[in-house]
Amino acid sequence: MSEALSMAREAGVDDLPATALLALARSRKAAEDQAAADLLEVAARWADLHPPESIHLAAAFTIPGSEHEEPIAGDGCPLVAEFCVAELGAVLGISSVAAKKLIGHALELRHRLPRLWAQVQSSVVPAWRARLVAETTIHAVPSLTREAAGWVDDQVAAVAGRVGTAQLDRLVAETIKRFDLAQPDPAADPEDGYLHVDPRHVTVHDQDVHYAGTLHIEAELDLADGLDLDHALAHDAAAQKALGSTETLDVRRAKALGNLARTQTALDLIHTQGATSQENADGLPAARELVLHAHLDGTLTNAGTVFGPTGRTENRHKLLLLDQIRSWCRDSRTKVTIKPVIDLNANLTAPGYDIPDRIREQVILRDRTCVFPHCTRPARGCDIDHVTAYDHHAEADGRPQPGPTRSDNLAPLCRSHHRLKTHTSWRYATVAPGVFEWTSPHGHHFRRDRSGTGPIQPAEPERP
């Protein structure tokens, strides 16, 4: 151990000279890299301990807007039981999706990128950099064979510890393209059967909303449709300029696309066929209803209700500015509906198993998201679960109902975690309105409330 590092260990950080600070920083970074490498090894071993009973019970990524799933690691990697992922994620303080990525990256590196894996374990390449490569090779389109991934491994391992992130990304992409490593793409050439794979799609990337309130959209359209869309955007952008808009062409085209979404001009055809849908005063068809659940804190004053400058939307839990709401409401075709305030602390009850809309809405507003540890899926798209299971035979047997349909016995769970709770030994209980305590199969305890998830440390984890 160097003299500078010895000095750093003996003194406080505030007392260290520059040389000792640099030595301490280097030591801590090395320890961090080694811990990340160890975590990858732990994740791979966790996967080894949990093979699925069948291919249908293997962990996979669901693709928004698609009917198929993507594996968590590439061809040649072992499959992993779906339900084992959540417990590893909960213990690490990450979501189940993030835990899938961690396990997938570990398996991809160990089985398909062995040289890079060895470099991570020997501290030549940091784990985060190797995981970037693994993410690319797992989700390459078309998918890479095991041999192709090995070729990428050979190219990347030679320089992975010495180049920057951007250079590494380019190297991986160029290697795949230059050496034709991907499996044949049937959509690439008519002779390969383009009629069997339709590449058209529209993808709205609503997981990554910019702080300015914008999001990214990408699309693959039919040639005629694409040219028509371009013409419509150009026409609307020109009309905006003629009406006095001083915004850039790109901004005006973006606004034009929003105008198309709101006015639904394709519905003009329906009017010509005798439909009775309503039109606005400008002759344009009425816009399709878009429901946006916005929540802003209000304060009663002598002048009336005063709203705070910021709030939130249920859609992706994004920050919302009051000025944005005002601008949206100024549109002549915007319909604004204000619903009455719901008391989130009231304990509402309903007879039977079915959950009435008023209780469902209260639970959604109270909990906001799926209440499984670290899950952030919006509650409005979740199942409403009876925390203590409803007994359909209790009344006939003359027994009290153990799982009544009542606010304090209901919680939103996304479909994945609802299945997890139903088919595994995960269990949870309500300890206060909107506060839940979970116990994992291996006896780890977590507290989940509206502020997030935290561990509850028992004296000793329970034995499985």
Residue-level pLDDT at 211: 61
pTM above 0.95, yes or no: no
Check: CB of residue 270 under 8 Å from CB of residue 277.
yes
Backbone torsions φ then ψ of 370, nearest 5 degrees: -55, 135
Residue-level pLDDT at 195: 44
Using a pLDDT cut of 70, give the percent of the chain over it: 73
pLDDT in tens, 354-406: 999 999 999 998 998 999 999 999 898 899 999 999 999 988 889 999 999 99
Residue-level pLDDT at 161: 77
Residue-level pLDDT at 333: 59
- DSSP code for 81: B
Q: Which segments in the chain show pLDDT lower than 70?
A: 1-11, 64-68, 179-197, 207-208, 210-212, 263-301, 303-322, 324-325, 327-341, 458-464
Backbone torsions φ then ψ of 391, nearest 5 degrees: -100, 110
The amino acid at 278 = Q
Helix (H) or strand (E) holding 60: strand 60-62
Residue-level pLDDT at 70: 86
Q: Write the DSSP string, 214-262.
A: --EEEEE--HHHHHHHHHHHHHHHHHHHHTT--S-HHHHHHHHHHHHHH
Helix (H) or strand (E) holding 296: strand 294-301
Check: CB of residue 283 under 8 Å from CB of residue 344.
no
